[in-house]
Structure 1
């Protein structure tokens, strides 16, 4: 059974991720919220070693997104996110690689759908 301190840490991180996502563009916010929610549900019953890795990675994610939401960064870069180091694929399971690919497809479809909507709106 997880300690009260561990549960509190997970809840704080979970809430922090959703607060940080508020600064994202609407389509990325929905995608990010859904992905985070699903990942936290999937790891609800993982062992402590996996939980520590999971929490460290999501903490790094939250810190990186928070930095990118700062106005100065937005003014200079106008981008959100960073490229995945290809070496990370060596550490992923087949299931994780498929999940990453599905996320990539969903993100690409969101971008394509939004671009076509904008093009249609400018034509009318």
Structure 2
């Protein structure tokens, strides 16, 4: 079991991630919040070695996203996120690859729906 200090750090990190997600567009925020919540729940009872890796990676994510969503960076780059290093795929389990694919599909579906919005036909409205 983990001590209360560890539990406190996990909660602080989780809250930080949700706070950083507030700077994202609404559709990305929903995806990000849901993904983070599921990942934190999924790793609730992991072993200490996995917990250290998990916290390190999510801390890096929070730091990078916070830097990218600063107003000055947004004005310069207008891009959020980083490309995944293809070598990381070699270290992922089959479940992680499936989860990554599902996340990609959900994110792609959101952007497709935004680009396919049709104007409202005002002639058929009463």
Q: Shorter chain as normaliser: what TM range? A: over 0.9
Give the TM-score, by structure 2 length: 0.93
Residue 95 of structure 2 corresponds to which residue in structure 1? Answer: 95
* Whole-angstrom CA distance in 2 between matches of 1:123 and 1:14: 44
Pairwise CA distance, 1:116:
1.2
Measure, in 1, the Cα distance between the counterparts of 2:21 and 2:114: 19
Query: 2:64 matched to 1:86?
Result: no
**Residue 104 (structure 1) aligns with:** 104
- How big is each residue's C-alpha offset from its partner over 1:45-65, in whole Å with a ceiling of 9 and x where there is no partner? 100100000000000000000
TM-score by length of 1: 0.95
Aligned to 1:121: 119
Distance 2:106 2:58 in 1: 20
Who is 1:30 aligned against? 30
Moved over 6 A (4+): none
**Unaligned 5+ runs, structure 2:** none
User: Which one has a bigger Cα radius of gyration?
Assistant: 2
Per the TM alignment, residue 43 of structure 1 is displaced from its structure 2 partner at its CA by 0.3
Distance in 1 of aligned mates of 2:90 and 2:63: 24
For structure 1, list consecutive stretches of 5 or more residues without a partner in the other structure. Answer: none
Greater percentage in helix = 1
Distance change (3 Å), C-alpha of 1:73 and 1:123: farther
1:65 aligns with 2:78: no
Q: What are the Cα deviations for residues 7-63 of structure 1, in whole angstroms up to 9, with x where unaligned?
A: 000000000000000000000000000000000000001001000000000000000
